[in-house]
Chain A
Amino acid sequence: MDFLDEPFPDVGTYEDFHTIDWLREKSRDTDRHRKITSKSKESIWEFIKSLLDAWSGWVVMLKIGLLAGTLAGVIDLAVDWMTDLKEGVCLSAFWYSHEQCCWTSNETTFEDRGKCPQWQKWSELLVNQSEGASAYILNYFLYIMWALCFAFLAVSLVRVFAPYACGSGIPEIKTILSGFIIRGYLGKWTLLIKTVTLVLVVSSGLSLGKEGPLVHVACCCGNFFSSLFSKYSKNEGKRREVLSAAAAAGVSVAFGAPIGGVLFSLEEVSYYFPLKTLWRSFFAALVAAFTLRSINPFGNSRLVLFYVEYHTPWYMAELFPFILLGVFGGLWGTLFIRCNIAWCRRRKTTKLGKYPVLEVIVVTAITAIIAYPNPYTRRSTSELISELFNDCGALESSQLCDYINDPNMTRPVDDIPDRPAGPGVYTAMWQLALALIFKIIITIFTFGMKIPSGLFIPSMAVGAMAGRMVGIGVEQVAYHHHDWIIFRNWCRPGADCVTPGLYAMVGAAACLGGVTRMTVSLVVIMFELTGGLEYIVPLMAAAVTSKWVADAFGKEGIYEAHIHLNGYPFLDVKDEFTHRTLATDVMRPRRGEPALSVLTQDSMTVEDVETLIKETDYNGFPVVVSKDSERLIGFAQRRELILAIKNARQRQDGVVSNSIVHFTEDPPELPPNSPHPLKLRRILNLSPFTVTDHTPMETVVDIFRKLGLRQCLVTRSGRLLGIITKKDVLRHMAQMANQDPESIMFN
């Protein structure tokens, strides 16, 4: 395969924005496998080739894991550095972030641990002042400037090099995995630009995350490696198996959760997930996690910034606030989905969409201006979540842990009892409340802009902030009123009853579940993040509650909502079709429409066929015996007809416009001196799927979903009546759900 030559379209490839034929891909793969197996008995070399073919799947998974892990490590390190670049620079080596720069500092007092002589804020560097109003204003100004610079660079790179690199990527990948072709969406330039601009936008302080885009990056890696092996490059069905596994590797490096990654791929992203892919996905996820660990971006062999390790127990009475957090998560999820879809629709249809670069700059400016004064929004969202998840030790300097300590206390670090809150905690509470409101509002406008943007981290941040506030509230109530009935049984004074960090985790899980409607994969990701199985029950309670509450308002998660907004032809397996319509209500042609365009098996000339193709734009034509008896023979694809006729005109002698086209095995009886007939039986699909006109639509939708059909022919007593395509099914479902059927685009 030569990168510089134009790819030659042969009979097996599909056009852009079309759906693949799953059954044909599956049968082609079975043929290939049978051929290799039969040839492997001939010689040793053939046997070795068959072994290599069998192992090629595992080799692809290994490579995907290595590359995905490496890219995730690069992204993490670069984000770490560039986020701190907004505030200052390390003088000894400019490539160090704040923490790396002060790694070897010898400051021993706790308050000074963040200061070291090598790290200087911009105000110190430029005007030699580190405190005071002018220093604050200068730092503020430079923070905004850096944020704008990063965001502008990111949106320009996306616009000039790879426009497909914007957005989260997960809705489009879901559509691709269900059989849709979007050429260039998983290409090399998209991979490069998405990786580079992801670092830039996360560092610019915008309210977005990198997990969704990492899934896109991993799928691009999967596409790249699968194009090196003909087993996967020539077969779109097999390629999608590789892409499912690559998506699992992407989530695995984003969260440090291999099992969660596989379950996420199974539940959210993949369409057909054969069990063989399960083991290979797990392998890819493990290799990716191991590669990331060996790059060691966070300096202590952890994969994720907010890994927590406490094991304090929780109590049954705490299920009540956990369920409340679940309700909050569900409500927030509904609010976010409705507002975000309304804003994206406005962006799509009004003049707002004409200024993407300006929109990014304005949103970044607003985010930076409002985020800087509040210490909880000034730092990166991952650090915020990490601080909220972690419990307060005996030695904490943040305001959130400004509890009044008992001077006689000599407990070890892990078992601090509940203490009354000092003034710092109250300040932290209202700062967190303001940060919560700000994050809720700004994320609605940020997700969906023309830059790579994910929403796992902002949702978790919202949930963590809400959870921590609830946790501190419960802790203080338990401390001050430990003689109430609820607390008396499990909370003695002097004991460590309530862990606010756990509430933050549960809140994060609830909000993430409310937005994405993930179930099992969410719980598994969260407990792989925390490293403890003790908290499965609270996490599940919150996740289930949030899903119930959110489903009461609307059935769609954020990704399905974006699929509907864009009109992708995605037939969701989770949708239930419960109406009692029949196939005859949905099939084309309807009453009053022109008759079905069919080909006859041996009575049309080349010119007739060409005229038919030119005048219509259908993707395929049924082939019948003759115009009188409309008995169905098979189905021919438009693209293959065009290619076959073009080839025949160029190569075969005697094929002119008057030649008869026949789909039969033997040419028909022709008078002498007639031109050479053109045999096109090769491209005819002799086993198209048919249903009768009284088949209930429920069954038809089920067939489309389970077999991945593109079209289905409707017959009555053997005679062809009409055709139902996937788009007709989607439009019918939209109509039944009172949505706009014309929003289904993409032939």
Chain B
Amino acid sequence: MIFSQHIWKSMQLLSLMAVVWCVLTPLAQASKSSEDIRCKCICPPYRNIIGHIYNRNVSQKDCNCLHVVEPMPVPGRDVEAYCLLCECKYEERSTTTIKVIIIIYLSVVGALLLYMAFLMLVDPLIRKPDAYTQPLHNEEENEDARSLAAVPTPSGARANTVLERVEGAQQRWKRQVQEQRKTVFDRHKMLS
């Protein structure tokens, strides 16, 4: 039973990743628009002509000196000698990938900023009437003794609604982060 649950979860995740991948890969390859390809020829100084760089968006098979260097600065019989000096490279990029990734990144940073503002400003105001204080001092020492001496608590009254479970998960996460912050920033026990 647990194995099939895991297979189901892996299928879900695999399909999610496949969807994400299918979105990204066509983005990476689809638009070979004129903005995305170019042939760059670097021609060093030749006799009394200064160095130049030429950019043109041609396909890879046309990426050579004759197609790209226009207007040709040398007369016809010197073209071959000039072109031997030039170095032509074909380059590709994907503008859609860049746009998508930057915009996703900025939205993630924005969401984190909003959540941080919420946690630091709005949350204490909501929590105050709740009187929910968790004594966090040296819990570990008392934990074992408490767990041995504890009367078996009724385990049937678990919070069942989604909202309460989310609340519980968030409280647990906040406690975890507070513990981590104490370990790293206050007690300097780790990562110093």
Task: Show the binding face of A for B, using Cβ within 8 Å.
Answer: 1, 3-6, 49, 52, 59, 63, 66, 70, 73-74, 77-78, 81, 93, 95-96, 100, 103-110, 113, 153, 156-157, 159-164, 166-167, 172, 182, 184, 189, 192-193, 196, 199-200, 228-230, 294-296, 299-301, 344-345, 347-349, 353, 356, 393-395, 405, 407, 410, 412-413, 448, 450, 565-566, 610, 613-614, 638, 642, 645-646, 649-650, 745-746
Further pairs besides A153-B113, A344-B192: 11, Cβ < 8 Å:
A78-B101, A104-B35, A109-B50, A109-B52, A163-B183, A163-B191, A294-B25, A296-B92, A296-B94, A642-B147, A646-B148
B190 interface hit (Cβ, 8 Å) = yes
Are the CB atoms of A66 and B85 closer together than 8 Å? no
Contacting residues, chain A, for B119 (C-beta < 8 A): 160
Q: Specify which of A70, A159, A228, A395 is in contact with B51 (CB 8 Å cutoff).
A: A395
Are the CB atoms of A649 and B102 closer together than 8 Å? no
A182 vs B92: C-alpha distance when bound (angstroms): 44
Contacting residues, chain B, for A161 (C-beta < 8 A): 112, 116, 177
**Nearest A-chain residue to B89, judged by Cβ:** A300
Q: How far is the CB of B124 from chain A (nearest CB, A)?
A: 13
B74 interface hit (Cβ, 8 Å) = no
Are the CB atoms of B116 and A157 closer together than 8 Å? yes
Given contacts A78-B102, A95-B103, contact A49 B191 (CB under 8 A): no
Are the CB atoms of B91 and A108 closer together than 8 Å? no
Contacting residues, chain A, for B162 (C-beta < 8 A): 4
Complex interface bits, B178-191 against A, C-beta within 8 A gives 1, otherwise 0: 00110111001111
B176 interface hit (Cβ, 8 Å) = yes
Given contacts A106-B55, A159-B181, A745-B189, contact A610 B148 (CB under 8 A): yes
Q: Is the interface of B mostly helix, strand, loop or mixed?
A: helix
**Nearest B-chain residue to A300, judged by Cβ:** B91
Are the CB atoms of B97 and A163 closer together than 8 Å? no
Q: Specify which of A6, A95, A638 is in contact with B102 (CB 8 Å cutoff).
A: A95
Contacting residues, chain B, for A108 (C-beta < 8 A): 52-54
Are the CB atoms of A77 and B148 closer together than 8 Å? no
Q: How far is the CB of B54 from chain A (nearest CB, A)?
A: 6
Given contacts A6-B168, A162-B177, A614-B148, contact A96 B9 (CB under 8 A): no
CB proximity to A under 8 Å, residues B141-191: 144-145, 147-148, 150, 152, 162, 165-166, 168-169, 172-173, 176-177, 180-181, 183-185, 188-191
Are the CB atoms of A613 and B148 closer together than 8 Å? yes
Contacting residues, chain B, for A164 (C-beta < 8 A): 180, 184, 190-191
B58 interface hit (Cβ, 8 Å) = no
Contacting residues, chain B, for A159 (C-beta < 8 A): 181, 185
A74 vs B185: C-alpha distance when bound (angstroms): 29
Contacting residues, chain A, for B166 (C-beta < 8 A): 4
Are the CB atoms of B10 and A77 closer together than 8 Å? no
Contacting residues, chain A, for B168 (C-beta < 8 A): 4, 6
Contacting residues, chain B, for A356 (C-beta < 8 A): 185
Contacting residues, chain A, for B3 (C-beta < 8 A): 49, 230
Q: How many B residues have CB within 8 A of the partner chain?
A: 76
Contacting residues, chain A, for B91 (C-beta < 8 A): 299-300
Q: How far is the CB of A698 from chain B (nearest CB, A)?
A: 31
Contacting residues, chain B, for A614 (C-beta < 8 A): 144-145, 148
Contacting residues, chain B, for A299 (C-beta < 8 A): 91-93
Given contacts A95-B103, A196-B109, A413-B44, contact A565 B192 (CB under 8 A): yes
CB proximity to A under 8 Å, residues B121-137: none
Contacting residues, chain B, for A193 (C-beta < 8 A): 112
**Nearest B-chain residue to A746, judged by Cβ:** B189
Q: Which of B81, B172, B180 has the most CB of A within 10 A?
A: B180
A410 vs B47: C-alpha distance when bound (angstroms): 8
Contacting residues, chain B, for A162 (C-beta < 8 A): 177, 180
A228 vs B12: C-alpha distance when bound (angstroms): 11
Are the CB atoms of B10 and A229 closer together than 8 Å? yes
Q: Which of A96, A199, A299, A407 has the most CB of B within 10 A?
A: A299
Are the CB atoms of B98 and A77 closer together than 8 Å? yes
**Nearest A-chain residue to B167, judged by Cβ:** A4
Q: Specify which of A347, A412, A650, A746 is in contact with B152 (CB 8 Å cutoff).
A: A650
Q: How far is the CB of B77 from chain A (nearest CB, A)?
A: 15
Given contacts A74-B105, A77-B101, A81-B102, contact A110 B177 (CB under 8 A): no
